[in-house]
Structure 1
Amino acid sequence: MAHVPQIKIAATYMRGGTSKGVFFNLEDLPDVAQVPGKARDALLLRVIGSPDPYGKQTDGMGGATSSTSKTVILSRSTQPEHDVDYLFGQVSIDKPFVDWSGNCGNLTAAVGSFAISSGLVDASRIPHNGVAVVRIWQANIRKTIIAHVPITDGAVQETGDFELDGVTFPAAEVQVEFMDPADGEGAMFPTGNLVDELEVPVEVVEGGMIRATLINAGIPTIFVNAADLGYSGTELQEAINGDERALARLETLRAQGALRMGLISTLEEAATRQHTPKVAFVAGPAAYVSSSGKQVKSDDVDLLVRALSMGKLHHAMMGTAAVAIGTAAAIPGTLVNLAAGGGELDAVRFGHPSGTLRVGAKASQVGGDWVVQKAVMSRSARVLMEGWVRVPGDAF
């Protein structure tokens, strides 16, 4: 029996922040995958190696974690005053779907450099030496992001001495600005409250009620106090990911929060919306040893945050969740702000499983509603491999 041979598609494998993903120029995709739909999803699933019941993604480019099961499609921007349109697909590891409901803040750090190297940014906007300002339209959430990409001799500068906890080797610093990071039409707090009493099953917390900050900024996120879940906020991955009961408990919390935020209409829908919202727990400063063995002192941080992505505790921090952290910290009275000591804060350094990260945001009240103009953080990015990916010709 004859089988359809493999085809090859131009692609670049990149690290952005603490994530990795396969980057495509929209024009390089097969015609049928240049538009949203089943063919595009099927192609990306096959590229990454999903769904994989073994959970390893051995037959694809994925790395068997939420941080490494990612795809990016870029094209010249269709939006005025923007350089590139950025579409992000979070590929499920063990299920046959691609989640297009949110952004990846970490891979955003690689978007500018890929766009420049791929000729998607007008040459007149790229200095011979200096910093190129790339105006990104994030198509998933319809927001503007500004990436400041270092340039040396007309080419993207990837090497440097900027260190990012969660990434082994130093690289060049890329500053990323998330403009007007609230989702929707400024509905930063979908319930209208800085803190809600969220009703949950008693298996989540005794008494069936937990305090939560539900915020749409960077990515929809549910923040709760670590202590209310019986945690300290110093937990590393194995403490959560090795406990099936804990994961189920946190997924139940996530589903209830998603329902309260209006992101889903029934609890059952949460299973098909794994990428958003995120759930995170916060605590005040405390000393701990990071996953790399680094000693984090209580004086090194303003607060501790642990966040889950695609059903697992993240090894560091998702970039979009960091935006949510910075935004919530800047607004007096949220659980994040209170964990950081309360009051007016325009930047915080928080502890995560791999170390620490600083994120800044400036909040103000307009007509009684909280508004954040932008959130800022530094990341790094690097091309790991470029050329072609191959997939069976009948895979999509």
Structure 2
Amino acid sequence: MHWASLNWTELNYLLSTGKIECEAPDTKDSWDWVVLTGDVWKKHGQAVADATPYLPGSFERPPRNAAEKILSGYKAWEWLMYFIGLGPALLLDILPDKYCRHCCKGISVIRCFHQRKLPATQMRQAHLHALEYVSEFEALYYQQKEERLHFVRQSVHVMVHLAPEAIRVGPQPYVAQWTMERTIGNLGEEIKQHSDPYANLSQRGLRRCQFNMLKALIPGLTGDDTRNPLLPRGCEDLGDGYVLLRARDEWPTLVVDDAASAIRKLLNAKSADGDIKLKRWARLRLPNGQIARSAWKERNKPLKAVRMARNVKVTIDGPSEIAEVEFYCRSPQGRALALGSLYPRPDADLLHKSYNTVWSCTAPRGYVAIWAKNIQSVVAMEPHIYRAENS
């Protein structure tokens, strides 16, 4: 997938900053898509850096200030997080509408094929968007001008092949270069005989293949074990891959007003009124390996010291929703739950305009209690200021 994280993103960067090669008789004065220049580019780069506290630690390396660092060893993952992740929201106020919609269409295609599970209906829609994207790219940028032929790079054309290749070999994450690079790095870390590293490396690779074969033949070797020694001390295994992690209250804490009512409502208590006492937990490990945190502890840290992980995707009744978790706890019956606030549904106009790439919500209000096992994943929710007059 380095074509997306490096080649495609770099092409869009070169176009929007006007740094792509210009050949006569073409002139840059006719390029109305060049908007990331001067102070606009500096503010945009700072906005990328300012997003860091709102990106969970499970999102790995956050992108640095694009205006200062993009030519100083910007990593493939930084390109991906910057342009594919943050790009649609940050570019809404900058790019002219037709270019912004076109860019968001391409990003929606890339996001779709980055999924590990790819429903057939989504793949068909993404394939149609990919065909439209390539055709519109030529109409918007190339414009059948010979001197602009170098605009149409292989990273644009490859989009039309994503769906057929997904049918043939599966979704992109399973055939991407990330996996091979990670394997090379892990095997390199295992080298112990530096006097004969290549022989040692081949033996480590052979041993890993043998171990993977045993795991495939005997699935029980990788089964869930409630006595997993890798679980940290003081945690509580909830089963199904969910684990409550400390910090935890030493003594029960009084929960009052709307928060108490929300918990009583989830527990189907006879009365929705009255205070309750419980021990709060700070973190929850999810089956996908992410660790969801809570506002209870994150708010005690300065913003620059946080990689915010308290916003989660949940299923309650119907479509998935986004919630901000206040804390986790155990019910009197022993089931784990989370107390939080639901974000309102995203702005429908922005969602449509951006091909479902910009989920812009107002701040959450009120309290709602959610069963811990209804939490699917940790998501990033960055403050978003959008001037509607540019829509």
Higher relative contact order (CA 8 A, sep 6+): 1
TM-score with structure 2 setting the length: 0.26
Point out the structure with the larger helix share: 2
Q: Over alpha carbons, which structure has the higher Rg? A: 2
